[in-house]
Amino acid sequence: MIKFDTSHAHLQENIFDYQKAVTLAHTQLHEKSGAGNDFVGWVDWPKSYDHEEFERIKAAAKRLEGQCDVLLVCGIGGSYLGARAAIEMMRGLYCQNKPEVIFIGNTFSSTYFKQVEAYIQDKEIVLNVISKSGTTTETAMAFRMLKQLMEKKYSKEECQRRILATTDKARGTLKELADKEGYETFVIPDDIGGRYSVLTAVGLLPMALAGIDIDAVMKGFAQAYEDLKNPDLHDNPAYQYAVARRILENSGKDAEMLVTYEPQMAMIAEWWKQLFGESEGKEGKGILPCSATFSTDLHSLGQFIQEGKKMLYETLLLVEAPTLDGTFPSDAENLDNMNYLAGKSLDWVNKMACQGTLEAHEVTGDVPNLIITMPDMREETFGYMCYFFFKACAVSVYLLNVNPFNQPGVEVYKKNMFRLLGKN
């Protein structure tokens, strides 16, 4: 379903020379014998996920269908990015179906919170708070304020219907609070870290509440599990991508720019940045993950990519069939001289821009390009793509001799912040 192409990357080593190291990384993942092996629950999740909970997610979505104008999804990092990436990719950015989805609890910005608060005042709302620890400050602050707002607006029983908590199965502040208040709870599994959790309740509940067919998402996820379970590099595009990254790094590329040509995929890039950045960026190692949306950013970052320091390579995340398309109209007067495009499809123009840019960057600019192609931006493809990136990331990071499943560096800012906030 996903195709991977290195023919524009000018790799200076042979991918297949890495077979031994890849087989070892694959075995460590599947046999849970590598670094961070407490957090590899996602590897078998397409098969082993909790089917009973999955049905509860669908039931909650059905129960609340048509009852909210705005779905508030309160979380940060791995408890936020996947759900947003999924919903934006599959629904597009100006979806007219209800509910509107607003993400909150992912910033300390007072203006952001107050504007959302004012915006939802007269709207029917449902709130899904998502936090494994329950103590993440951005999320906990927003949740307290939203909870109070909802308690003013709705009865206790109605709050119990409209507030859903996704958290640890047994412990933690949020689990205790939810049980005490009588909210329905959904589980973030112990052995799946935040950035690998989008196809647990963390992402599936917001997706289902937003009207997305999560059966189809899980079908694509399971398909990827089958397609990518062979360690043979000839048969495994995710592992080819994992190796290509290391080869490009060996040739002096310190940054990987994930490029999409669809604005509704911009959050996929944000999700991908956390996945690779938190998994790989430690012990002074790693490729900096960054992103761009073309052609928009060709009018800003394009200059640097074309002629700036040769420190980066691009990974194009391309889509064969757009969700919607149209035809460019002809104009009798042609005052804007645009008639040369009359009758062409809008997506064809986007594809030609991509082709021209690839040639400009690769050939003239000497910037290697890896190409990942997906058939569309629909449910099955989303599920498939998640597993593709999970496996590619974990194996790529194992090849670097780094634990892909911890994030010790994230705690440093928190310590300083808590000291300044007077938390003991």
Ligand X SMILES: O=P(O)(O)OC[C@H]1O[C@](O)(CO)[C@@H](O)[C@@H]1O
- Minimum Å gap between C-beta 41 and ligand X is 15
Task: Report how far residue 338's alpha carbon sits from residue 282's, in angstroms, rounded to the nearest whole number.
Answer: 50
Specify the residue, 336 or 411, whose C-beta has the smaller distance to ligand X: 411
- Minimum Å gap between C-beta 76 and ligand X is 5
CA atoms within 13 A on the CB side of 91: 24
Positions in the binding site for ligand X (CB under 6 A): 76-79, 131-133, 136, 139, 194-195, 278, 407, 410
- CA-based nearest residue to 140, from 168, 177, 194, 195: 177
- Minimum Å gap between C-beta 172 and ligand X is 8
Choosing from 88, 256, 262, 278, the catalytic residue is: 278
Specify the residue, 26 or 175, whose C-beta has the smaller distance to ligand X: 175
- Minimum Å gap between C-beta 274 and ligand X is 7
* Adjacency order of strands within the sheet including 312-319: 3-8, 369-374, 312-319, 255-260, 288-293
- Minimum Å gap between C-beta 408 and ligand X is 10
Active site residue 414: yes
Q: Scan for tokens 């040769």, then name that residue.
A: 310
Q: Which two tokens stand for residue 319?
A: 């889509």
Specify the residue, 349 or 410, whose C-beta has the smaller distance to ligand X: 410
- C-alpha gyration radius of the chain: 22
Active site residue 184: no
61 contact partners, CB below 8 Å, separation of at least 6 = 205, 208, 209, 211
Specify the residue, 278 or 380, whose C-beta has the smaller distance to ligand X: 278
Specify the residue, 146 or 370, whose C-beta has the smaller distance to ligand X: 146
**Residue 235 carries which DSSP code?**
G
423 contact partners, CB below 8 Å, separation of at least 6 = none
Choosing from 47, 344, 414, 423, the catalytic residue is: 414
Active site residues: 278, 414
